[in-house]
Amino acid sequence: MLKLSEVKSILREYDIRPSKRLGQNFLIDQNIKNKIMRSIALEKEDIVLEIGPGLGALTEDLVKKSKEVIAVEKDKRLHDYLSNNKGLNLINDDILNYEFKAISRKLVVVGNLPYFISSPILNKLIDNRGCIKALYATVQMEFGERLAAAPGTKDYGSLSCYAQFYGDTKILFKIPRGAFFPVPEVDSCFLKIDFEKQIDESIDQELLFKLIRSSFEKRRKTILNSLASSGIFKSKEEAFTCLSKARISPDRRPETISLQEFISLSAQTTE
């Protein structure tokens, strides 16, 4: 694990000025690094896809604990620094351009996801979840709380339902901002999304997420009033009937309705 003085020396040597836009905050806390590595369930035959390895705070340990590490680093200067790392399949590109391929063993994805691109990366991984066993990621605390939020909480919304429909989502621990250099403005967390969750393919996913998005667009209204103006139903009466069949009170607020209840509502809406 590189010390802060070593990190600064490498950045000077490679003329790297950490980019806030790219979310370049490098892990410098040995205890947090050890905690992260203990949290990642790896088998010797696993193939790891590391998103944005940066200065390689986790990379060497990932190489030792797995069959192969594919590291995708967008910054050419960081790519050049990591190029001497033996046993590493290093790619200089944006992770959003990465082409997932069906392999005999699903990937374990590890990464520090920049806030401005966390949602697009999550969408990419969900779209390719058939190739992925699990995601272990450092994300801004706010984003992690929204992903893992339970019904009835202020952070619960359409993003929570989206992540939790496709995977079992859990925040593993909080990471203080001082664990990074440069120090970011907010704290982070380390989370896991298990993509080996079984999904009922009979569910109309397009309709389900249309219902969810429409509901949360007007989250201060009752679920009936939110859906009545969504364009999904022919009338307020039809929305009321579907809610009743799904055993959802029309007076409830969208943030109190669980993912399973939204799934039940989508089933009644397709009848």
Reported as a single tens digit per residue, the pLDDT across 145-155 is: 999 999 999 99
Collapsing DSSP states into helix, strand and coil, what is residue 71? strand
Question: What pLDDT shows up at residue 16?
Answer: 87
Structural domain includes residue 199: no
Question: What pLDDT shows up at residue 113?
Answer: 93
115 pLDDT band, cuts 50/70/90, is confident
User: Is 238 found in the same domain as 125?
Assistant: no
Q: What is the pTM of this model?
A: 0.93
Compute, in degrees rounded to 10, the torsion defined by CA atoms 74, 118, 171, 216: -170
256 vs 169: CA distance, rounded Å: 19
Structural domain includes residue 243: yes
Residue 73 is given by DSSP the state: E
| Spacing of C-alpha 165 from chain mean position | 13
What DSSP string describes 180-222?
A: EESPPSS-EEEEEEETT----TTS-HHHHHHHHHHHHHTTTS-
What DSSP string describes 116-154?
A: GGHHHHHHHHHHTGGGEEEEEEEEEHHHHHHHHPPTTST
User: Is 171 found in the same domain as 90?
Assistant: yes
Domain count, the chain: 2
93 vs 158: CA distance, rounded Å: 30
169-180 b/e (C-beta count within 10 Å ≥ 16 → b): bebbeebeeebb
Host domain of residue 260: 205-269
Contact 33, 180 (CB under 8 A): no
69-111: pLDDT as tens digits: 999 999 999 999 999 887 899 999 999 999 998 788 899 999 9
Mean pLDDT along residues 50-79: 95
**DSSP H helices in 14-94:** 30-39, 59-65, 76-82
User: Is 237 found in the same domain as 144?
Assistant: no
User: Is 139 found in the same domain as 248?
Assistant: no
- Domain CATH for 251: 1.10.8.100
123 vs 127: CA distance, rounded Å: 6
155-182: pLDDT as tens digits: 999 999 999 999 999 999 999 999 999 9
Question: What pLDDT shows up at residue 182?
Answer: 94
Structural domain includes residue 222: yes
HSE (side-chain half, CA atoms, 13 Å) at 8 = 6
Final residue belonging to a domain, choices 194, 222, 257: 194
